[in-house]
Amino acid sequence: MFRSITLSLLLIIGLFLINCSKDLSSINDIDDNPKKQIRALTQNETQLVESGKIFSLKLFKKIVEEQPDTNIFISPLSVSMALGMTLNGANGTTYEAMQQTLEFEGMTNQQINEAYQSLIDLLINLDEKVLFEIANSIWYRNTFNVKQSFLDTTQYYFDAEISALDFNDPASVDIINNWVSEKTHEKIKEIIDNIDPLTVMFLINAIYFKGTWQYEFDKENTEDDVFNLAGGGTADCKMMKIRGRFDYYEDDDVQIIDLPYGDGDFSMTIFLPTPGVDINEFAANLDDSRWENYLTSLNSDSGTLELPKFKLEYKLKMNDVLKALGMSIAFDPQQADFTRINPAGGLYISKVLHKTFVQVDEEGTEAAAVTVVEMFNTSIGGDKEFFMRANRAFLYVIREHHSETILFIGKMIQPEWEE
């Protein structure tokens, strides 16, 4: 059960098609690998990962719905953790909307934080043969007043690195991107390309995963092959092949295989819909109940797997997806309430950016993900910096101050310029 929970939090890998079959009788069967004992999940952890699984599936399904003809690779854990940090600054209906979207209803803020804290420690120390790293950070404008309790909470429970930067200095972009590059082992080198004058904070989660297959594919068996495209036609691919004993399940709609990494605490589960079953419809129907039924139906079996090598970089602005899942208020400049970050108000989420990398080859899998939550501030006053953007229709006046005479007045709706 723990393995299925871990899978749903870490990697819901895109649903990869495998369409060619060859005999690999030269490869010996692989024996079962005994599992080591792992500590039981706490009650809070159990509730957190169950919520995370439901959030993972609905997030993935929504993205598939919006991008039916695109390769997709996301880390729901990274998204959840970045928003989980942000949740500590939300208040009122904004907090409730985020809590509901993340499927944390029934948990207190304290329980959520404690579960994240202990789960992070568990995941990164789970398998000595798998490198799995989680890093969190908060970067805020050095002239913006942030409640110390918010910073203390995220630092304590999420081990977040806290830094105040001069966002007006172009070097701040490089500082943040260098942190991202370092934490993802240079697999994701950039998450922001500029800092908007309205931006007062970035909340960032970075995840890095490198796992060697428990049973590696033999490179000598990798051959040039073709990959059948959903809309018709084919594409060239490098097809890896292995014969052995794996956890496996099949029915009229799908074949499922579970490929373990390291000591078996992490694995990649591949869902291959049968010919005639639309991949997007299959993804749309993959709810929590069906997910559990599939995983509990896996049984050790001998057979041959052919899997294409692949490398993918993916990025997505998640605003519309998260709004559709119930978080619209957090993006609304007029209604968002993040007064637990700054009591003056005016804060809202301007964007949630997600970038990932994955490489699957004969040796194993390397993957990385970064999620950044960018916070804007609309309020003006106190020691906050002034900013005005005339990027819409405006009026303008030329006047004389001593007599207060208006000399000219105009309305600009479309600026024009000629040399």
Percent of the chain whose pLDDT exceeds 70: 81
- C-alpha 272/C-alpha 261 separation (Å) is 20
Instruction: Give the torsion sign (CA, 390, 394, 398, 404).
Output: negative
With bands split at pLDDT 50, 70 and 90, how would you rate the model's confidence at 226?
confident
**Alpha helices, DSSP H only, in 11-42?**
none
- C-alpha 277/C-alpha 230 separation (Å) is 10
Number of other CB atoms surrounding residue 385 within 10 Å: 14
- C-alpha 120/C-alpha 168 separation (Å) is 34
Instruction: Give the torsion sign (CA, 140, 142, 144, 150).
Output: positive
Q: Domain spanning 2-18+32-212+312-377: which superfamily? A: Antithrombin, subunit I, domain 2 (3.30.497.10)
The residue among 89 and 383 whose pLDDT is bigger is: 89
CATH number for domain 219-310, candidates 1.10.10.10, 1.10.645.10, 2.60.40.10, 2.30.39.10? 2.30.39.10
Mean per-residue pLDDT for 303-321? 91
> What is the domain partition of the chain in residue ranges?
2-18+32-212+312-377, 219-310
Per-residue pLDDT at 23 exceeds 50: no
- C-alpha 368/C-alpha 144 separation (Å) is 31
With bands split at pLDDT 50, 70 and 90, how would you rate the model's confidence at 234?
confident
Instruction: Note the pLDDT of residue 206.
Output: 97
Per-residue pLDDT at 183 exceeds 80: yes
Contact 347, 377 (CB under 8 A): yes
- C-alpha 239/C-alpha 311 separation (Å) is 13
Contact 305, 298 (CB under 8 A): no
Instruction: Note the pLDDT of residue 406.
Output: 46
- C-alpha 167/C-alpha 84 separation (Å) is 24
Instruction: Note the pLDDT of residue 7.
Output: 36
Q: Which of 14-23, 157-166, 284-293, 341-350 has the lowest mean pLDDT?
A: 14-23
Percent of the chain whose pLDDT exceeds 90: 52
**Full-model pTM:** 0.84
